[in-house]
Amino acid sequence: RSPFFDAALHVLKGALVSVLRLPTGRTTASVKQGKGHAGRIILNSVQSFSDEQRSALVRLVQEKVREDAPFRAWRMSRAEAEGLYGETMYDAFKVPDSVTELRLVNLERWNLNAQVNPVLKSTGYLTRLEITKTKHSASKRELEV
């Protein structure tokens, strides 16, 4: 995957968690990279999604890109990470029990995720992040961005 795509996911997930008041951990159902740096993220546990929330999401994403916030990545034992962060760094899918060391990527006070993919040095390298489509399924309680 592209470092641009993964950096954008961190920015977007942090904004979504803020706007929707969701926990960071276990709410990402899936991500998929499209052509170039495009892609989508699907979150679970989303009751509703309004036009006001979409506007707030766009604003927060733009602010975080302009902020040029640094990404920090490090490795630590899974046991230590879970002791410090609980399940905050995990997506909805399970990390195999055989994985004993995690690579964590953090945007301070914004998003923390266990992932193996490279990211950019900072959010400013994205230059812009455009939200072209959102789709909420009330029956599935999912939001696709």
pLDDT (tens digit per residue) in 85-124: 999 999 999 999 999 999 999 999 999 999 999 999 999 9
pLDDT at 40 over 90: yes
Using DSSP, state whether 39 is helix, strand or coil: strand
Is-contact 108 73, C-beta < 8 A? no
Domains of the chain: 3-144 (3.30.980.10)
The mean of the pLDDT values for the chain is 97
What whole-number distance in Å separates Cα of residue 65 and Cα of residue 122? 8
Q: How many CB atoms lie within 10 A of CB 55?
A: 11
Q: What's the pTM value of the predicted model, to 2 decimals? A: 0.96
pLDDT of 36: 87
Q: What percent of the chain has a predicted confidence (pLDDT) above 90?
A: 97
Q: Provide CB contacts within 8 A for 42, sequence distance 6+.
A: 28, 29, 30, 31, 142, 143, 144, 145
What whole-number distance in Å separates Cα of residue 37 and Cα of residue 82? 31
